[in-house]
Amino acid sequence: MMNEKRTFDEALGTDRVQRLYRFTNGYGASCVRAKLMSIPGLDMERAFGRAYGSYTRNEHEWEVAVIHWSGENFTLVYDTPITDDVLGYVDESDLDALLDRIEALPPRPA
């Protein structure tokens, strides 16, 4: 099902990335990861036990939200069979299978 996937990366600032996906069923995914803000002289990983914020631990994991597109805008949705929240710690190797599941959802009722 991967042939209909459209993706683009958008930098959100220093050490922050959002990857958006849009599928023909109207759904998509917002995948984000961000390093914690750095403070001069402070080792964030040592101080907080991690260098990444939100629901990620490293540069190979994503926090994934199921979204629904309306034109060029999207909203997060929390009522799909996939999840009722965001999904954290999604490894790069598991991301494609999750995106396939989102792409396979039936279109959202109007």
Each residue's pLDDT tens digit in the chain (110 positions)?
443 455 555 656 667 888 899 999 999 999 998 877 767 777 766 766 667 778 988 888 999 999 999 998 999 999 999 999 999 999 988 999 999 999 999 998 87
Residue found under tokens 């914690």: 36
Structural domain includes residue 55: yes
| 48 found inside a domain | yes
90 belongs to a structural domain: yes
Residue 109 lies in a domain: no
> Is-above-0.85 flag for pTM?
no
Q: Is residue 33 part of a domain?
A: yes
In a domain, 108, yes or no: no
Return the pLDDT at 2: 41
Structural domain count of the chain: 1
**Percentages (nearest 5) of helix, strand, coil residues in the chain:** 20, 40, 40
Instruction: Check: CB of residue 55 under 8 Å from CB of residue 89.
Output: yes
The per-residue pLDDT for 12 is 64
Cα torsion for 94, 60, 85, 75, to the nearest 10°?
-100
Domain that holds residue 91: 2-103
Residue 89 in any domain: the answer is yes
Buried b (16+ CB within 10 A) or exposed e, 74-93: beebeeeebbeebbeebeee
Q: What is the pLDDT of residue 36?
A: 75
